[in-house]
Amino acid sequence: MTRHRILLLPGDGIGPEVTAAARQCLEAVAAGFDLSFAFDEAPVGGAGIEACGEPLPAETLHRARTSDAVLLGAVGGPAWDAAPRRPEAGLLALRRGLGLFANLRPVKVFEGLEDLSPLKRDRVVGADLLIVRELTGGLYFGEKREGEYEAFDGCAYTREEVERIARVAFEAAGQRRGRVTSVDKANVLATSRLWRRTVEDHAQAWPEIALDHLYVDAAAMTLVTQPARFDVVLTENLFGDILSDEAAVIAGSIGLLGSASLGAGGPGVFEPVHGSAPDLAGRDIANPAGAIASAALLLRHGLGLPGPAQALDAALADTLRAGVRTLDLGGVTSCTRFAASVCERLDRADRLADRKAV
């Protein structure tokens, strides 16, 4: 039996709580599908600073590189806001170190949660989109200068960087509803004009995919006025960061969203879209759904196990449909209890599958 090596990077704040919940679900999946997972754990972010003085200790990066997939919680918190190297730098170094240029952030409305969004029900029903965010370029990784009276963040993109993320978006659209909306600021930014030209050229090879372009300001508006209009949203690093938090409004809570960060063949990092939520940390009240959805993405994209991924997604959707809700969703269920509910549903689903097989 293949032993899949999964590295857990719980990080800070609610990171350890939601990661433990997702691990519990992965263990239930392993039991149900006769899979073998070997879990290892290492510090990152503030936890890395405390343990080794570095937000991404060399040993953590090494263990990430030699794993099959990485499940990350979240990094950051007020304790390190004034630190010379912030916890967030560890996450960026991990993405860069593993070459994870493609960040997939699926957003959809879970059945039963349609009224949780502050948007009107008829707007959110049917919303199901995938944000494909470029993750290792742009302002995040450009030249930086930070003085007392002047600071500078450079934004650069190469044609090759745009092409490889465009390929990911078009491939994804081919598996979905066949539409890519590329989001840029080509009326102002040179990098956006390169982005748009490159995406246009790339689209020539995909006649079956419908491509359109939106400026990021208009995209921000359209995301909340007509969310169901979108299929795949292709965008650069900073725009993707901002739009994905905005898109959480469609689902009802940022605690529901998972993500996959993928590169060219090495291990991927799977993490919820939310941060370390210091206001909730240590109270067992965070919503682990985003981490559990990330674990399903890990099974699908990280380990190539679509069946188990689908079972975990279904158990998560069933749990939410049944009204099991954490505080952010207007409920009282704890983080650990929510995960236990997902595991119970996985057990039932497996027993059902067994019976069908007999």
Q: Taking CB within 5 to 8 Å according to partner kind, which of ligand NAD, ligand IPM, Mn ion, none is near residue 287?
A: ligand NAD
Report how many residues bind ligand IPM under the rule CB under 6 A. Answer: 6
Closest CA to 21 of 71, 82, 92, 77: 71
Per rule CB under 6 A, is residue 10 in the interface with ligand NAD? no
Which H/E stretch holds residue 238?
A: helix 237-251
Q: Which of 57, 268, 275, 302 binds ligand NAD (CB under 6 A)?
A: 275
Burial category of 101 from C-beta neighbours within 10 Å (exposed 0-12, middle 13-18, buried 19 and up): buried
Per rule CB under 6 A, is residue 287 in the interface with ligand NAD? yes
Report how many residues bind Mn ion under the rule CB under 5 A. Answer: 1
Q: Which of 19, 117, 276, 294 binds ligand NAD (CB under 6 A)?
A: 276
Q: Which of 91, 129, 180, 262 binds ligand IPM (CB under 6 A)?
A: 91
Residues 6+ apart with CB under 8 A from 51: 43, 57
Per rule CB under 6 A, is residue 132 in the interface with ligand NAD? no
Per rule CB under 6 A, is residue 88 in the interface with ligand IPM? yes
Select the residue whose beta carbon is closest to ligand IPM and give its number: 88
Site for ligand NAD in 316-355 (CB under 6 A): 328
Per rule CB under 5 A, is residue 231 in the interface with Mn ion? no
Closest CA to 277 of 293, 298, 253, 296: 253
Closest CA to 185 of 250, 228, 124, 235: 235
Closest CA to 249 of 116, 154, 344, 142: 116
**Window 75-114: contact mask with ligand NAD (x via CB under 6 A):** xxx----------x--x-----------------------
Q: Which range in 49-57, 85-93, 123-131, 308-316 contacts ligand IPM by CB under 6 A?
A: 85-93
Q: N- to C-terminal Cα distance for the chain?
A: 23
Considering the complex, state which of residue 81 and residue 347 has its C-beta at the smaller distance from ligand IPM: 81
Q: Which of 12, 114, 241, 313 binds Mn ion (CB under 5 A)?
A: 241
Which H/E stretch holds residue 261?
A: strand 258-262
Per rule CB under 5 A, is residue 12 in the interface with Mn ion? no
**What separation in angstroms does the CA of 86 have from each of 20, 81, 96?**
24, 7, 16
In the chain, what are the helix, strand and coil shares in percent, each to the nearest 5? 50, 20, 35
Q: Which residues would be at the binding site for ligand IPM (CB under 6 A)?
A: 76, 88, 91-92, 241, 273
Q: Which residues would be at the binding site for Mn ion (CB under 5 A)?
A: 241
Binding site as annotated, residues = 95, 105, 133, 217, 241, 245, 275-287
